[in-house]
Chains A and B, each alone.
Chain A
Amino acid sequence: MITETHHTRPTAAAPFAPPDEGAIAVQGLNAHYGQTQVLFDIDLSIRAGEIMVIMGGSGSGKSTFLRHLIGLERPSGGTIKLLGQDLAQLGPVEMLDQCRRIGVAFQGGALFSSMSVAENIKLPLREHTRLDEKTMDIMARMKLEIVNLSGFGDLMPAELSGGMLKRAAVARAIATDPKLLFFDEPSAGLDPVVSAALDDLILRLRDAMDMTIVVVTHEIHSAFKIADRITILDSGRILEVGTPDEVRSSSNPRVQGLLNRQPDDTPLDPDQYLRRLAGEA
């Protein structure tokens, strides 16, 4: 559905977070698809300026967790605070201001196919600022330069390769110089060289633009390369949170199973899976 179903409670804007609260604070987050619970009492704090990688196998709930963090889903319980503001308490106008402070690079890019790459980057600027067309053109060129796509602004998304598409999506995500940047499976579908280049870009963005970055991925090599801390999700619960070294030396067998790519032999109930997909269960 494309109608808005959340963040419509008009309230005064929440104050900014105290510095020790973290850029993202999740407390007791529960989520359901239909009647099936998919996230269980998630507590997580992400510090300002760090790169947090969220890992987990298929069906672990990492994509659902991300959708809640970026405000696309409403939690059935618990709170999510981004930059000190509780998403559930934001009115529509405050939510707009919040959107300006976050950027999202989706798995497939999600660039608007009817617009050129430059127009895609200018769209958030057009919506959130009163900049004139010339300034927006300059800003779009600057963002494309950051992601090494100078001169590609006039192309349509369909004319870009997979790696270029992801970098263009990053350029759009950073158009408004957000404080929080979210990546959904940045390495998915890319060859190792392009994937490594994207990892370097993520590290460069954190250092150059002082962003807090959350990356959802199942690419272990990429995760250990870029992460300051890693969160491992399994069946909707947090298994482990720690630095790459702490996670690597975890005594939890399921964490080790994920890191060592051991197949999970737990049988999957097809009926329950289909009901979950249909949002019925």
Chain B
Amino acid sequence: MLNFMEQTGRRSARALDETGYAASLLAESLFWTLFGRRWRQPVRLASVVKQMMQVGIEALPIATLLAAAIGFMLAVQSLYSLGLFGAESFAHVGIALALTREFSPLIIGILMAGRSGSALAARLSSMTISQEVDALRTIGINPVRFLVAPATLAMLIMLPALAMWSNLVGLGAAGLFVSASMETSFASFVVGTIEVLTPGDLLHGLGKSALFAVLIAIIASVNGSLVTGGSEGVGRVTTRAVVHAISAIIVTDMIFGYLATR
């Protein structure tokens, strides 16, 4: 019993410690992005663009595939459920709202956590173990400015962009299935969708994506930089970063959805 209490206490203290560290990483990333040039520590555009390529452009094929699958799946389920009471003609309403407000940011967020979050955690942890982070410091480069800020900025730009792309692909796939199943035109699905969607729906999804981007980048950075235990530690923190990021995304999604619809 005493052992359990001690373990719980230690874990709670560690969680609190990591939360504080995450907040300081975020604040420091913001500081270097805004004021780095004044302190001769600029966040270089080239690094941000390089990260954007890795985080966003290189993820386009898999993001497109997932978005199309989600759109198709939503169309199938909508037609089936609405068909139970003869309301298939309203399928585009549910599909458009569910995809833009919920599924696109969520699926792209989870994809990014697994793909880019794990890569960032692995990179930071292996750099820490091989003393590359120490080397940065001795050269006079702030590691947060050099490693964390560009990755956070790149995710902050690319995750909403990918979510927007996912909206287009998902709606396109859903539209093709709905129009083929109901023997209506694809254009009527597009027109119906445009009538239903408001800028607020799109912003709801994009706002979530931006929040998820920051969560993924900071959680990966915290786990990556707190690595201990050599190469085994790299594997451990990488897995931990992905699990934490996905959990944080889903919980945040729930809270965001609840607060934004009040």
Contacts and interface: CB of A to CB of B under 8 A. Distances in A.
Contacts of A106: 131, 134-135
Kindly list the 7 A-B residue pairs having the minimum CB-CB distance in the complex, ordered from nearest. Answer: A99-B140, A110-B131, A110-B135, A2-B143, A2-B225, A104-B138, A96-B140
Nearest to A102: B138
Interface string B128-141: 10111111011111
Interface string B101-134: 0000000000000000000000110111011111
B137 A72 contact: yes
Given A93-B39, A107-B131, A112-B132, A2 B140 contact: no
Given A2-B128, A96-B40, A108-B130, A128 B144 contact: no
Contacts of B128: 2
B186 interface: no
Contacts of A113: 126-127, 130, 132
Interface of A: 1-4, 70-72, 92-93, 95-96, 98-100, 102-104, 106-108, 110-114, 123-124, 127-128, 172
Interface in B19-68: 21, 24-25, 28, 39-41
Nearest to B123: A114
Given A2-B148, A112-B127, 11 more contacts: A2-B124, A71-B137, A72-B134, A92-B41, A99-B138, A106-B131, A106-B135, A107-B131, A113-B126, A123-B139, A124-B140
B226 interface: yes
Interface residues of B, number: 31
A105 B71 CA distance: 54
A110 B130 contact: yes
Q: Which of B28, B124, B135, B144 has the most CB of A within 10 A?
A: B135
Contacts of A70: 138
A25 to B, nearest CB: 19
B139 A3 contact: no
B95 interface: no
A3 B130 contact: no
A3 B145 CA distance: 9
Contacts of A111: 132, 135
B132 A110 contact: yes
Nearest to B39: A92
A96 B137 CA distance: 10
B142 interface: yes
Nearest to B224: A2
A110 B128 CA distance: 10
B147 interface: yes
Contacts of B148: 2
Contacts of B134: 72, 106, 110
A111 B140 CA distance: 15
Contacts of A72: 134, 137-138
B131 A1 contact: no
A149 B201 CA distance: 59
Interface string B146-160: 011000000000000
A96 B140 CA distance: 5
8 contacts: A2-B148, A2-B221, A3-B24, A4-B137, A100-B140, A106-B131, A112-B127, A113-B127
B123 to A, nearest CB: 8
Nearest to B134: A72
Given A108-B131, A110-B132, A112-B132, A1 B138 contact: no
A115 to B, nearest CB: 10
B141 A4 contact: no
Contacts of B226: 1
Given A72-B138, A99-B138, A127-B139, A2 B144 contact: yes
Contacts of B141: 123, 127
